[in-house]
Structure 1
Amino acid sequence: MRKRTFIWGAGALALTCLLSACSVLSDNTNSPREGEHASGQGTPHGPIQLTIRHTQVKDTQKKRLAMLQDVVKATEAKVPGLTITLDGVEDKVNRFEKLRAEMAAGNPPEIFDLFGGTDTKDYVKANRLLDLTPILQELGLTDKFYSFQEFTVNGKIYGIPMAGYVEGLYYNKKILAGNHIIPPQTWDELIAAAGKLKAAKVTPFALSAKDSWVINMMMNTMWVRTAGTNSIEGFLNGSKRWTDSDVVKAFEQYQLLIQKDYFQDGSLTLAYAEQQNTFSSGGAAFMFDGSWANTPLLDKDKSSITEDVGFMNFPSMGGPGDGYINGGWSNAYGFSQKVTPEQLIAIKEFIKQMYNEPMQKRQLIEEGMPPAMKLSDTSQVNPLITEILNVFTSSKGSFPAYDSRIQTKVRERLERGMQELLGGRTDPVSLMAEMQKQQEASNKEEFHTTK
């Protein structure tokens, strides 16, 4: 994610600019006149150019890219003179570096992959995002989606979710059965299962921690288990502290997994894909990951366990967050506020071609992406995907990923700290003290910025 210190520093500087002096657009001479966003009035005259920033650049995302390409062709066919350029960028680079710099400069692509929560609020504050509320109403789509919550600011919608996600524990049915283990429902059962697997010379957990965000998927769920689903909001408003015993407890439990050597060897040097490779080759019994991971796991050319994969909610840990699941609709397409009336007509057509039941059904069947729209038919879905959807819907409720709410510097400190914890260079109490220090500084900075 942070390829070079200079790039990351530039991104941070850009964001600072975005939220302060650069937050007011200079003249908006290319923006639609008042009223044109909602009506889309105007007839295309001559060539129309749109750029779509997408993140379907990995080998495992070829089917997803093919769907986008089909939508592009259909949109171009409906709008005379339209040419759409696809600009593919790796998702973390897009979110944390490229898009931030473009937003600060006021020149994002017309259509782009947008993360919900804090990212969306920052860009709305800087007047960079197109208000989609009237467009969704015009196209009859407002009530077709499960939730716009992460893209709604002051009652207006600024992003259209592409698909949902859910995070949980994948497990190898064959390995567990071979070791007489049933899928663990409690933390004690999980620890006992891991010990039994380790004694049998089976790696309990696949984990790649070179990409620091990967560690915090499971960690996020663990502290929600022990401290509750409102813990993130508590960190932000000061009613909860990282140093509280119920938060520290989760990190101590995670440290237990480290100390007992339950993660795959050399995890700190391995990129995210290696986590999936280890699990899909039968090299580990468990893997905590998102619903998006089902694609490589079900690819018979790359996975040897396509018939042996199960998915479950993370076991209970005896806290107020037991039974809840990390899930929702955090990724969307956003649209630049600075578009011409002709581009707006093309954007509306893109929305119609992208957001409909056949396309959402295709995403579900081909890629296992939980739909963002309410489908009338979910037949012909792979059993693993059905299992993932059932786990999602049968949970007590959902909570968003912490990095959609928490400040950037707090997220960065936790990512570094978890790598330090995994490497034995810190302990839970010390790490939580550092986290609380950074949280207070970020809360104070945010307070003064918004005054």
Structure 2
Amino acid sequence: MRKRTFILSTGAIAITCMMSGCSILSGKTDPQGGTANNGQGSPNNPIMLTIRHTQVKDTQKKRLAMLQEVVKATEAKVPGLTITLDGVEDKVNRFEKLRAEMAAGNPPEIFDLFGGTDTKDYVKANRLLDLTPILQELGLTDKFYSFDEFTVNGKIYGIPMAGYVEGLYYNKKILAAQGIKPPQTWDELLAASAKLKAAKITPFAMAAKDSWVINMMINTMWVRTAGTDSIEGFLNGSKHWTDPEVLKAFEQYQTLIQKDYFQDGSLALAYAEQQNTFSSGGAAFMFDGSWANTPLLDPDKSSIVNDVGFMNFPSMGGPGDGYINGGWSNAYGFSQKVTPDQLMAIKEFIKQMYNESMQKRQLVEEGMPPAMKLQDTSHVNPLVTEIMNVFTSSKGSFPAFDSRIQTKVRERLERGMQELLGGRTDPASLMTDLEKQQEASNKEETHTTK
């Protein structure tokens, strides 16, 4: 889910990693993890809120439990309040359900919100609550590392749940057994992959049925070869998908495909299978986001808890070498259409969700680094510490392309990468198609803003 600084010290910690929200209600539980109000408060003055969350996977049970605790505490503080949890898979929420609700003008009062382009589009449609005065009132404005991806025209419209960072996870035990050091260059990565394949070990865990998954690594690769300003260049026309330095990254990605370095049958595998393969010791590398910490560090789901390493993607000889994909892209957003009573309840929810205790629990229990600046950073998992150190030692960060690029371009890239993986297109053809769509989307965007 980027240009920030992370700090690891005895007094403060700044890190990036994707996290979604968590929750608990009181009383009778609904099928989505919510509960009805148990009678506390004033039945003559009911207040109803719905929270759209994305904690629906088996690996997110702890996060859901934390959200449920926040909801229970909020209900206890606000007489007559009933909160319903509506759990929806994250991709369905972002690209289908929430988008349709925003178009119709009826989103839930509280919802999982993606930063960048999504937030800007919803602000333009006048759907999001301006949180600037609320954060000031609650004394939270200076407590977060960054609101950048949720700030439009100087106003804040989303409160980050946590950060994220993307990079290369590796199995320390497998690499050591093969006499392979963590590769620092593209050539070293190719050599390591060749040696692993010869030993009948899958070099890369990969599940490409969910198209966004396949685009994580290629995003970092074209930034390596074309620079951190490539996305803005595509948007303003100063760079093109067909530029040689962009094409180079896709050609090198195709090399991995042609040499069969990815997991067999990846086009038919859902995202969870990528993590399952890696966590069971079935592959040496996995490019993923720091949200993957949860299943990787769960001894009930992972056989490599003590063997996981994390590194920045190897250098590829371009201007983007040494930079890392990271930032704060997932947040809670709030509907602009709320009553004064609902607004009061929303403020209490924010107080219960965004505090030292909840952010520390997310860090320690889930390995999900906080969005807020913590005073106590003890008992941090070694893998999380390693991720922070990788971020700290990077040249800088850049945002994921899908937080900036237009929807039609993102969709074309997703389809194209699946076609490339399946051998149905080649890098040059894909870049030509992408450039056509980019030019059309830029033209359409310019027309609509006039």
Q: CA deviation at 1:400?
A: 0.7
Corresponding residue number in structure 1 for 2:258: 259
> What's the CA shift string for 1:232-252, capped at 9, x where partnerless?
000001000000000000000
Residues in 2 aligned to 1:376 and 1:354: alpha-carbon distance in whole angstroms: 17
Residues in 2 aligned to 1:140 and 1:328: alpha-carbon distance in whole angstroms: 23
SS of equivalent to 2:56: coil
Residues in 1 aligned to 2:316 and 2:354: alpha-carbon distance in whole angstroms: 39
Unaligned 5+ runs, structure 1: 1-42
SS of equivalent to 1:224: helix
Moved more, 185-194 or 383-392: 383-392
Moved more, 61-70 or 294-303: 294-303
Is 1:174 the counterpart of 2:170 in the alignment? no
- The RMSD of aligned alpha carbons is 1.0
Corresponding residue number in structure 1 for 2:112: 113
> What's the CA shift string for 1:58-80, capped at 9, x where partnerless?
00000000000000001001111
Corresponding residue number in structure 1 for 2:369: 370
Larger helix share, 1 or 2: 1
Percent of residue pairs identical:
90
Corresponding residue number in structure 2 for 1:312: 311
Residue identity opposite 2:337 in structure 1: K
Residues in 2 aligned to 1:303 and 1:339: alpha-carbon distance in whole angstroms: 43
Corresponding residue number in structure 1 for 2:391: 392
Q: How many residues align?
A: 409
Residues in 1 aligned to 2:295 and 2:288: alpha-carbon distance in whole angstroms: 12
Corresponding residue number in structure 2 for 1:281: 280
SS of equivalent to 2:286: strand
> What's the CA shift string for 1:203-228, capped at 9, x where partnerless?
10000011111000000000000001
Is 1:54 the counterpart of 2:37 in the alignment? no
Residue identity opposite 1:295 in structure 2: T
Corresponding residue number in structure 2 for 1:444: 443
Corresponding residue number in structure 2 for 1:322: 321
Residue identity opposite 2:67 in structure 1: L
> What's the CA shift string for 1:57-109, capped at 9, x where partnerless?
00000000000000000100111111100000000000000001111111100
SS of equivalent to 1:378: coil
Corresponding residue number in structure 1 for 2:125: 126
Q: CA deviation at 1:45?
A: 6.9
Corresponding residue number in structure 1 for 2:409: 410
Is 1:341 the counterpart of 2:340 in the alignment? yes
Does structure 2 retain, via aligned residues, the 8 Å contact 1:227–1:321?
Answer: yes
Residue identity opposite 2:434 in structure 1: M
Residue identity opposite 1:267 in structure 2: S
> What's the CA shift string for 1:140-176, capped at 9, x where partnerless?
0000000000000000000000000000000000000
Residues in 1 aligned to 2:391 and 2:113: alpha-carbon distance in whole angstroms: 23
Residues in 1 aligned to 2:380 and 2:61: alpha-carbon distance in whole angstroms: 19
Residue identity opposite 1:219 in structure 2: I
Residues in 1 aligned to 2:261 and 2:185: alpha-carbon distance in whole angstroms: 17
**Runs of 4+ that moved beyond 4 A:** none
Corresponding residue number in structure 1 for 2:289: 290
Residues in 1 aligned to 2:326 and 2:217: alpha-carbon distance in whole angstroms: 13
Corresponding residue number in structure 1 for 2:24: none
Residues in 2 aligned to 1:322 and 1:377: alpha-carbon distance in whole angstroms: 33
Corresponding residue number in structure 2 for 1:359: 358
Listed as ranges, the matches of 1:200-239 within 5 Å are: 200-239=199-238
Residues in 1 aligned to 2:103 and 2:209: alpha-carbon distance in whole angstroms: 29
Does structure 2 retain, via aligned residues, the 8 Å contact 1:76–1:84?
Answer: yes
Residues in 1 aligned to 2:436 and 2:392: alpha-carbon distance in whole angstroms: 37
Q: CA deviation at 1:389?
A: 1.7
Is 1:149 the counterpart of 2:161 in the alignment? no
Q: CA deviation at 1:394?
A: 2.1
Q: CA deviation at 1:335?
A: 0.3
> What's the CA shift string for 1:172-191, capped at 9, x where partnerless?
00000000000011111111
Listed as ranges, the matches of 1:21-40 within 5 Å are: none
Residue identity opposite 1:394 in structure 2: S
Q: CA deviation at 1:388?
A: 1.2
Provide TM-score, normalisation by structure 2: 0.90
Q: CA deviation at 1:276?
A: 0.6
Residue identity opposite 1:429 in structure 2: A
Distance change >3 Å, CA 131–CA 197, structure 1 → 2: same
SS of equivalent to 1:287: strand
Corresponding residue number in structure 2 for 1:28: none
Is 1:268 the counterpart of 2:281 in the alignment? no
SS of equivalent to 1:381: coil
Unaligned 5+ runs, structure 2: 1-41
Corresponding residue number in structure 2 for 1:184: 183
Residues in 2 aligned to 1:197 and 1:233: alpha-carbon distance in whole angstroms: 37
> What's the CA shift string for 1:276-322, capped at 9, x where partnerless?
11101111000000001111111111111111000011011111111
Provide TM-score, normalisation by structure 1: 0.90
SS of equivalent to 1:243: coil
Residue identity opposite 2:424 in structure 1: R
SS of equivalent to 2:411: helix
Residue identity opposite 2:306 in structure 1: E
Residues in 2 aligned to 1:223 and 1:376: alpha-carbon distance in whole angstroms: 37
Residues in 2 aligned to 1:84 and 1:431: alpha-carbon distance in whole angstroms: 46
Residues in 2 aligned to 1:349 and 1:331: alpha-carbon distance in whole angstroms: 20
Distance change >3 Å, CA 132–CA 45, structure 1 → 2: farther
Residues in 2 aligned to 1:45 and 1:354: alpha-carbon distance in whole angstroms: 27
Residues in 2 aligned to 1:94 and 1:277: alpha-carbon distance in whole angstroms: 24
Residues in 1 aligned to 2:348 and 2:389: alpha-carbon distance in whole angstroms: 33
Residues in 2 aligned to 1:322 and 1:222: alpha-carbon distance in whole angstroms: 9
Listed as ranges, the matches of 1:93-108 within 5 Å are: 93-108=92-107
SS of equivalent to 1:50: strand
SS of equivalent to 1:425: coil
Residues in 1 aligned to 2:381 and 2:318: alpha-carbon distance in whole angstroms: 33
Corresponding residue number in structure 1 for 2:4: none
Q: CA deviation at 1:396?
A: 1.1
SS of equivalent to 2:370: coil
SS of equivalent to 2:295: helix
Distance change >3 Å, CA 414–CA 44, structure 1 → 2: same
Does structure 2 retain, via aligned residues, the 8 Å contact 1:44–1:342?
Answer: no
Corresponding residue number in structure 1 for 2:248: 249
Q: CA deviation at 1:44?
A: 11
Q: CA deviation at 1:393?
A: 2.2
Residues in 1 aligned to 2:160 and 2:239: alpha-carbon distance in whole angstroms: 30
Residue identity opposite 1:246 in structure 2: E
Residue identity opposite 1:248 in structure 2: L
